[in-house]
Amino acid sequence: MAEKVLMKGNEALAEAAIQCGCKHYFGYPITPQTEIAAYMSKRLPKEGGVFLQAESEVAAINMVLGATAAGVRSMTSSSSPGVSLKSEGVSYIAGSDLPALIINVQRGGPGLGGIQPSQSDYWQATKALGHGDFQLFVLAPSTIQEMVDFVPLAYEVGEKYRVPSMILSDGMLGQMMEPVEFPTKKDDAIAEKPWAANGHQNKREKNVINSLYIDPETLENLVKERYERYELIKENEQRAEEFMMEDAEYVVVAFGASSRVARSAIMQARAEGIKAGMIRPITLWPFPNKTIEKSIDSTKKYLCVEMNMGQMVDDVRLVVSGRKPVEFFGRTGGVIPTPAEVLGQIRALAGKEM
């Protein structure tokens, strides 16, 4: 076992990326993710890598496109308003069938919003981070250890299916410290990239990285082929944690930072005799439909707890399809719900108002 070290979420994530063979970081300062850039600027030059502070988020994501097109592991990180700027590049990356790692350390929005933690970019990450028909593989860590562990997962899944990956973190996970351990280095897990634009050396056909297809049927067929890969991802890559679900009747669905609050509330509800449990989506896309589905018969009511005005609740309701009530509780604008607030909601769910 590796030694545990106490690290801030943003820095732990950055170190994990370096240990995964990411030698190229392109970013732009924005709170509350700047520690990622600062950490990379300190470490990467000593690893023979490249840290580049870009002129904009728009440029940074396109630098990632260039580096990943050349076949290397690279990444960019930002926070909500900056991620909006990256959306053009993310769409091009998806349309060019490139893997890439994008980090969003979410803050309150819309607009300049605030700088406190938020989960209000769920829709953006899972439904529409850019124009066109495409998806990202989206992971939602809830601990600093997961900030570390999800980096290799994001790279491996992204490279396997040739899709961009996002780690959807937030200002709380980015800024807090927890003990973490780093997995044994395994740079050799980096997949071969015969498609890379890195010079054909007169030994193979030329490679073209492109997202432009003027002929509608050609474009439709390419999008359909990409959706076949999305179906495989939905089948193979759904992940969720089940917490106290063995006999749960009142099920909280929460991801990331809000799942930490919900976990405390559920333990208190259990102490009061309420059979509460939690499904914590780890992959936000693909949404863990299978885990929700198998809980429906034994669940009386669901409660989605989010740090937004109700975004993931749409996906829960799609799976539940009216078979059981699905309630929502959220705080937004950078406000973190308290365990007492969530406990109150669970009691109400169970008909035990106090």
Partner 1 sequence: MAVVFEKSKALTDVPFHYCPGCTHGIVHRLVAEVLEELGVTGQTVGVASVGCSVFSYNYFNCDMVQAAHGRAPAVATGLKRAIPENVVFTYQGDGDLAAIGMAETVHAATRGENITVIFINNAIYGMTGGQMAPTSLPGQITQTTPYGRDTDAAGHPIRVCEMLSTLSGTALAQRVTVDSVKNVNIAKKAIKKGFENQINKRGYSIIEVVSTCPTNWGLSPDEAMNWLRDNMLPYYPLGVYKDVTEGGNE
Residues 183-212 contacting partner 1, CB under 8 A = 197-203, 206-212
Please choose, from the candidates 86, 88, 100, the residue with its C-alpha nearest in 3D space to the C-alpha of residue 137: 100
Least gap, CB of 93 to partner 1 (angstroms): 10
Least gap, CB of 154 to partner 1 (angstroms): 18
Toward partner 1, which CB reaches closer, 184 or 201?
Answer: 201
Q: In whole angstroms, how far apart are CA 199 and each of 57, 66, 71, 212, 278?
A: 27, 13, 11, 21, 50
Toward partner 1, which CB reaches closer, 66 or 114?
Answer: 66
d(CA 103, CA 171): 12
d(CA 201, CA 106): 43
**Number of residues forming the site for partner 1 (CB under 8 A):** 40
Considering only 21, 89, 152, 288, the residue that binds partner 1 (CB under 8 A) is 89
Residue 139 contacts residue 150 (beta carbons within 8 Å): yes
| Sign, Cα dihedral of 206, 211, 214, 216 | positive
For 258, half-sphere exposure in the C-beta direction (CA atoms, 13 angstrom radius) is 36
Least gap, CB of 150 to partner 1 (angstroms): 23
Residues 61-80 contacting partner 1, CB under 8 A = 62-72, 74
Toward partner 1, which CB reaches closer, 14 or 245?
Answer: 14
Residue 224's SS3 state is helix
Toward partner 1, which CB reaches closer, 70 or 115?
Answer: 70
Q: Is there binding between residue 54 and partner 1 (CB under 8 A)?
A: yes
Q: Report whether the peptide linkage leading into residue 110 is cis, meaning its omega lies within 30 degrees of zero.
A: yes
Residues 11-30 contacting partner 1, CB under 8 A = 24, 26
State the residues that interact with partner 1 by CB under 8 A: 24, 26, 50, 52, 54-56, 58-60, 62-72, 74, 88-89, 92, 96, 197-203, 206-212
